[in-house]
């Protein structure tokens, strides 16, 4: 294996810093080659120097040093994070591509062979093809190609993200590479329930998956105000009817009490009891409707309706009908 710190030392030299070759700190032979630093890159960096560029290069220097130490310690995930940030800091720099070499090394150690393959290829495309590492990198690409399988997906929506093993690999992809083995492929799209499938693909093999995403349930926006006003109307009407029956029962009772002696017929007594009972029933209906109206008020969407939408109509009807030996009450309406 060629050394990861080749790129580190090259970058330090290219930004006019003192490069120090250090002893290997890992059994995998991570050695320094100071001669890989380019004099031409150093001159280009100096000519492009500016206060803002210097600040970015200083931060890149610190991150390179941390990434180097993390790599030597075997913390490849943290090292990859440092090198990835360095790649952004060196945007526009002539030797930025050298960081891709380091990233590929970390990705290899993390078994992210698809990402390592992409980093190696980008390294060659952006300038690595003219370095002494070209042969090694091309051999790595051939080796990694033999370790990867192809997954083709068909998704029923236009805009989506593809995640493999809880790692986001891109947007709107139809084909991607994965290391041979079993993987969890997940597709996420705004407004849809994420869908995932497990796929087993061998190296150099190809598998096809189809995803049909389900729309998310519409968000609850509140009840229609018509329900609140309907319940309020029932409460008011029921209370009014109850008051009417209560007044009737009280009037009938006063008529009997005004007699001398205050004695009424059995029919009058029965009529008074029925009026009082109906009053109680209607007051109970009014109370229940009032409580319902309060509950509706808490969950009602008071934001208004579209101007073009026709307002919802609600009606409440109370029907009083004489029956044998009393009065019948019916409640009806549209909501």
In a domain, 218, yes or no: no
Say yes or no: 137 and 152 in one domain: no
The parent domain of residue 285 ranges over: 225-334
**pLDDT score, position 18:** 29
CB contact set of 219 (below 8 Å; sequence gap of 6+): none
CATH number of the domain bearing residue 49: 1.25.40.10
Last residue of a domain, one of 173, 189, 211: 211
pLDDT tens for 250-287 read: 888 888 778 777 777 878 788 888 888 988 998 899 89
pLDDT tens for 24-53 read: 333 333 333 333 344 344 444 444 456 777
Say yes or no: 236 and 204 in one domain: no
**pLDDT score, position 268:** 79
Percent share of the chain, pLDDT over 70: 75
CA angle 12, 134, 122 (to 5 degrees): 75
Say yes or no: 71 and 176 in one domain: no
Say yes or no: 240 and 269 in one domain: yes
**Is the pLDDT reported for residue 311 higher than 60?**
no
Last residue of a domain, one of 211, 235, 264: 211
Q: What is the pTM of this model?
A: 0.50
Say yes or no: 23 and 133 in one domain: yes
Per the model's pLDDT, the better-predicted residue between 102 and 49 turns out to be: 102
Q: How many domains does the chain have?
A: 3
**pLDDT score, position 261:** 77
**Is the pLDDT reported for residue 176 higher than 60?**
yes
What is the spatial distance between Cα 137 and Cα 257, in angstroms, rounded to a whole number?
113
**pLDDT score, position 298:** 85
């Amino acid at each position: 294996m060629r050394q990861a710190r080749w790129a580190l030392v090259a970058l330090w030299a290219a930004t006019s810093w003192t490069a120090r070759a250090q002893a290997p700190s890992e059994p995998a032979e991570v050695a320094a080659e100071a001669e890989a630093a380019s004099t031409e890159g150093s001159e280009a960096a100096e000519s492009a120097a500016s206060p803002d560029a210097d600040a970015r290069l200083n931060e890149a220097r610190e991150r390179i040093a941390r990434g180097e130490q993390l790599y030597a310690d075997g913390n490849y995930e943290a090292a990859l994070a440092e090198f990835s940030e360095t790649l952004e800091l060196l945007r526009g720099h002539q030797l930025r591509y050298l960081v891709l070499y380091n990233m590929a090394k970390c990705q290899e150690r993390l078994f992210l062979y698809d990402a390592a393959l992409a980093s190696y290829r980008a390294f060659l495309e952006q300038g690595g093809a003219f370095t002494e590492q070209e042969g090694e990198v091309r051999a790595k690409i051939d080796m990694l190609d033999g370790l990867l399988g192809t997954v083709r997906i068909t998704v029923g929506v236009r805009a989506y993200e593809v995640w493999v093993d809880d790692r986001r690999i891109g947007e709107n992809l139809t084909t991607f590479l994965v290391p041979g083995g079993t993987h969890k492929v997940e597709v996420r799209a705004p407004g849809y329930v994420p869908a995932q499938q497990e796929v087993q693909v061998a190296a150099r093999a190809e598998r096809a998956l189809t995803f049909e995403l389900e729309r998310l349930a519409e968000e609850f926006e509140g009840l229609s105000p018509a329900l609140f006003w309907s319940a309020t109307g029932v409460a008011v009407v029921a209370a009014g009817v109850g008051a009417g029956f209560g007044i009737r029962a009280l009037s009938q009772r006063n008529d009997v009490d005004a007699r001398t002696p205050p004695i009424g017929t059995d029919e009058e007594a029965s009529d008074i009891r029925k009026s009082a009972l109906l009053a109680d029933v209607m007051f109970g209906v009014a109370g229940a409707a009032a409580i319902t109206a309060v509950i509706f008020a808490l969950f009602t969407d008071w934001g208004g309706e579209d101007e073009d939408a026709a307002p919802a109509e609600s009606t409440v009807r109370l029907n009083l009908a004489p029956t044998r030996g009393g009065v019948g009450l019916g409640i009806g309406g549209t909501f």
